[in-house]
Amino acid sequence: LPGSLNRARVSLSRFKGGDLSKKRVFTGAGEKILDLVAGYKDVTDLIGGVHLASAFFAPRNGEVKATALAGAKPKLVKLYKEAVLDATQGQDGRKAPPQLLAAFAVALKMLDHDDLAVLVPDMVHVCRRTPDLALAPLAASVLLLSADTSRYVDQLSPVVCERITTDKFRADCLAVVRALAVQSTDTSVLVELGQGLLKVLQGKGTQGQLKNWQERQGALEGLP
């Protein structure tokens, strides 16, 4: 996309001006770019930098060599955590823009269950602390995964059930539910999530209640 290319050019320009440009970096170039991008604070620079680095790890003919990811994946996971999750915290916390999440699309598709075992607890944590900033990016991130999210539904469900009772969080909570429904193959865990939401709709939820029919109708209309 033109916008993505422009952001990549901004990052590439910064890369060319750095020490790395003076070396003939071929092997591990993507990792070295990630090290450079990790120091970026400006969101536009982050978007371009992640796009640029991801180009070194994008699948070729549908396959990614494990050796190419050995050193890169931990850095990609760390960068996602810092740029998307940790950035929601504190007085200057911000929501990750869609363009930044799109830049991480290649990285998110590469994540396996070992990676997600590290990330999901952090996702839950930030969604509890700053739901207004974290819930929508969570839904968008889930849709970008290639891994089955069935095993994480039970960790994410309490956050959804807690926040769905609040008007300003309801649409984002429902977006998370829809994303999990798309990315999960185990219908039994989705049934459990549905039962938890039903209790909330009936005013019996331990995490909260929807107290009038307008709220309940709105939530029901949003369910997948």
Which pair of tokens denotes residue 99?
């363009």
Average pLDDT of 78-87?
Answer: 95
CA distance 103 to 4: 8
pTM tops 0.85: no
Measured from the Cβ of residue 193, the count of other Cβ atoms closer than 10 Å reads 21
Q: Answer with the residue of higher pLDDT: 212 or 111.
A: 111
Q: Answer with the residue of higher pLDDT: 155 or 10.
A: 155
CA distance 161 to 65: 39
Q: Which residue has the tokens 């602390």?
A: 129
Position 1 scores a pLDDT of 41
Distances (CA, A) of 131 to 19, 67, 77, 83: 40, 37, 21, 16
- % the chain with pLDDT above 90: 39
- Give me the helices (H) in the chain, please: 2-16, 29-37, 43-54, 66-69, 72-80, 98-103, 105-110, 113-129, 131-144, 153-163, 167-183, 187-201, 213-222
Q: Answer with the residue of higher pLDDT: 35 or 59.
A: 35
pLDDT (tens digit, 9 = 90+) per residue, 160-212?
888 887 888 988 998 999 999 999 999 899 888 888 777 776 665 454 555 55
pLDDT (tens digit, 9 = 90+) per residue, 112-170?
999 999 999 999 999 999 999 999 999 999 999 999 999 999 999 888 888 887 888 98
Position 25 scores a pLDDT of 43
Helix 113-129 to helix 131-144 angle (10° resolution) is 160
Contact 208, 200 (CB under 8 A): yes
Buried b (16+ CB within 10 A) or exposed e, 169-181: bbebbbbbbbbbb
β-pair partners for 63:
60
Position 30 scores a pLDDT of 75
Sorting pLDDT into bands at 50, 70 and 90, what band is 63?
A: low
Q: Answer with the residue of higher pLDDT: 140 or 9.
A: 140
Which residue, among 213, 192, 193, has the nearest Cα to 202 in the 3D structure?
A: 213
Position 20 scores a pLDDT of 43
Average pLDDT of 106-110?
Answer: 89
Q: Is 70 exposed, middle or buried (0-12, 13-18, 19+ CB in 10 A)?
A: exposed
Sorting pLDDT into bands at 50, 70 and 90, what band is 221?
A: low
